[in-house]
């Protein structure tokens, strides 16, 4: 396993350092600029556009962030670039555009957002976009079918499981993903501690980051049971 100690060296700004979507909105170039200014790592979300381009956007649908109807997968990357986020001057960026903006100045943690039947090639396209990028970057996903593609479609890129829950069924599903070559875990802070995260950290010596830290309580839980936080809503 390659050294990914960089993953936990600094706090990770959730969807960039936004201001809870008042003026500086999530997953925009402005939010990424603000994170870089504060020397935070950046977490972002990536979907596949209709023409197979990885774009930086969280939701499956467009309405909350752009006021438009429809799905991300219904639009080309060029069409998405014309949409304004939150009524600001910011647009929906491609992953390539984001990488060109960050230029390796802070680490990136890229969450791949799967939509069954609409995400064919997502892992490979993200890997192709990251090819030749000089900065530190990792990929992760909640979606087990995408994680199963990581080793083949994105070899050499640090990859993680994004997860939450603490029921027996939840934990069994998480443990099953250890059959795949993941190198870190991003776990919901509200579900800590739990046996899966303890096993990952203590037995596998695998780093764990939390999401989404918004309070002193969740900062304290992260400090006790994980290695770094993905946060929003305050200066870390």
> CATH code at 86?
3.20.20.190
* Average pLDDT over all residues of the chain: 97
| Across 75-93, average pLDDT | 98
- Spatial contact of 188 and 165, defined as CB atoms under 8 Å apart: yes
Number of separate domains in the chain: 1
b/e string for 186-202 if b means 16 or more Cβ within 10 A? bbbbebbebebbeebbe
The secondary element (H helix, E strand) that includes residue 230 is strand 228-231
Percent of the chain surpassing pLDDT 90: 99
Q: What is the phi/psi pair of residue 207, to 5°?
A: -70, 145
Within-domain flag for 236: no
Which residue did the predictor score with more confidence, 146 or 1?
146
User: Residue 17 belongs to what domain range?
Assistant: 5-230
Within-domain flag for 25: yes
pLDDT band at residue 1 using 50, 70 and 90 as cut-offs: low
Q: What is the phi/psi pair of residue 23, to 5°?
A: -125, -35
pLDDT band at residue 170 using 50, 70 and 90 as cut-offs: very high
| Across 148-160, average pLDDT | 97
Q: How many C-beta atoms lie closer than 10 Å to residue 179's C-beta?
A: 8
User: What's this model's pTM, rounded to 2 decimal places?
Assistant: 0.98
Cα distance from N-terminal residue to C-terminal residue, the chain: 29
Within-domain flag for 235: no
Q: For residue 2, what pLDDT is reported?
A: 80
Per-residue pLDDT tens over the stretch 60-81: 999 999 999 999 999 999 999 9
């Amino acid at each position: 396993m390659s050294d990914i100690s960089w993953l936990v060296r600094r706090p990770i700004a959730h969807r960039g350092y936004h201001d809870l979507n008042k003026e500086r909105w999530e997953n925009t170039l402005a939010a990424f600029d603000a994170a870089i200014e504060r020397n935070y790592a950046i977490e972002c979300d990536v979907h596949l556009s209709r023409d197979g381009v990885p774009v930086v956007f969280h939701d499956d649908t467009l309405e909350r962030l752009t006021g438009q109807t429809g799905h991300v997968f219904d639009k080309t990357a060029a069409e998405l670039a014309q949409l304004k986020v939150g009524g600001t001057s910011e647009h929906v960026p491609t992953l390539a555009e984001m990488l060109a903006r960050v230029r390796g100045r802070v680490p990136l943690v890229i969450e791949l957002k799967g939509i069954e039947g609409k995400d064919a090639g997502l892992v490979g396209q993200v890997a192709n976009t990251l090819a030749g990028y000089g900065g530190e970057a990792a990929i992760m996903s909640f979606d087990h079918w995408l994680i199963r593609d990581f080793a083949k479609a994105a070899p050499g890129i640090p990859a993680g499981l994004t997860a939450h829950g603490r029921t027996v069924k939840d934990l069994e599903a998480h443990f099953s993903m250890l059959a795949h070559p993941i190198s870190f875990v991003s776990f919901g802070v509200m579900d800590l501690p739990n046996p899966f995260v303890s096993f990952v950290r203590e037995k596998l010596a695998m780093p764990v980051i939390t999401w989404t830290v918004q309070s002193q309580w969740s900062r304290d839980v992260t400090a006790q049971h994980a290695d770094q936080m993905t946060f929003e809503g305050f200066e870390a």
